[in-house]
């Protein structure tokens, strides 16, 4: 075997490995709404690949419907707007944070607001990621959001 062959074989192995776990989800935080009002999820979508990838859907057994949202300024007022996908550029991280992108959780199916919530993320490269999040208490979640800012 030549050194060249080994280098090519290694490159193929590495690219295959990257393709399998191109997207990662990290730093998820979930806050329930008061009563039947919608909850919200913030966190990070990491794209470790060489192609852009979109988050196209999120579902959960704990909620009837989950929407992808962003904030836009309309006449000087910040308004939430539903989007069909969250695009993550190659090698980039998209941050879902207060005042920006977030997930909106509608139709809560449980009254236990301390129970871990399982979220299933679906990406347009065929990858899915399932992750469990423990909800913040209302007051604490609010406090943490401010302390987390850079």
- Alpha-carbon distance of 67 to 54, in angstroms, equals 14
Strand (E) or helix (H) holding 132: strand 128-133
Q: Which residue is nearest to Cu ion (CB)?
A: 69
To Cu ion, the closest distance from the beta carbon of 8 in angstroms equals 47
Per the DSSP assignment, residues forming a β-bridge with 40 are: 31, 104
Is the CB of residue 130 less than 8 Å from the CB of residue 70? no
For the CA atoms of 47, 22, 90, 15, the dihedral, rounded to the nearest 10 degrees, stands at 150
Binder to Cu ion among 104, 105, 117, 119 (CB under 5 A)?
104
Return d(Cα 89, Cα 106) in angstroms, integer: 28
Q: Are the beta carbons of 81 and 50 closer than 8 angstroms?
A: no
Residue 102 beta carbon to Cu ion: minimum distance, rounded to whole angstroms? 6
Of 8 and 80, CB closest to Cu ion? 80
Kindly tell me which of 80 and 115 has the beta carbon lying closer to Cu ion.
Answer: 80
Nearer to Cu ion, 23 or 102 (CB): 102
In the complex with Cu ion, the residue whose CB is nearer, 22 or 30, is 30
Interface with Cu ion (CB under 5 A), residue total 3
Residue 69 CB, nearest approach to Cu ion (Å): 3
Token pair 């794209």 is found at 47
Footprint of Cu ion on residues 56-95 (CB under 5 A)?
A: 69, 80
Tell me the closest approach of the beta carbon of residue 22 to Cu ion, in angstroms. Answer: 26
Give the interface with Cu ion as residue ranges (CB under 5 A).
69, 80, 104
């Amino acid at each position: 075997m030549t050194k060249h062959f080994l280098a090519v074989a290694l490159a193929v192995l590495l690219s295959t490995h990257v393709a399998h776990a191109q997207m990662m989800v990290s730093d998820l935080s979930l806050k329930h709404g008061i009563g039947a009002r919608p909850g919200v999820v913030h966190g990070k979508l990491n794209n470790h690949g060489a192609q852009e990838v979109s988050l196209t859907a999120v579902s959960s057994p704990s909620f009837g419907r989950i929407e992808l949202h962003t904030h836009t300024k309309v006449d000087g007022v910040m308004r939430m707007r539903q989007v069909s996908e969250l695009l993550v550029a190659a090698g980039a991280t998209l941050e879902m944070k207060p005042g920006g992108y977030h997930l909106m959780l509608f139709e809560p199916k449980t009254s236990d607001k301390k129970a871990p919530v399982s979220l299933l993320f679906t990406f347009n490269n065929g990858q899915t990621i399932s992750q469990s999040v423990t909800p913040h208490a209302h007051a604490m979640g609010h406090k943490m959001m401010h302390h987390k800012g850079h």
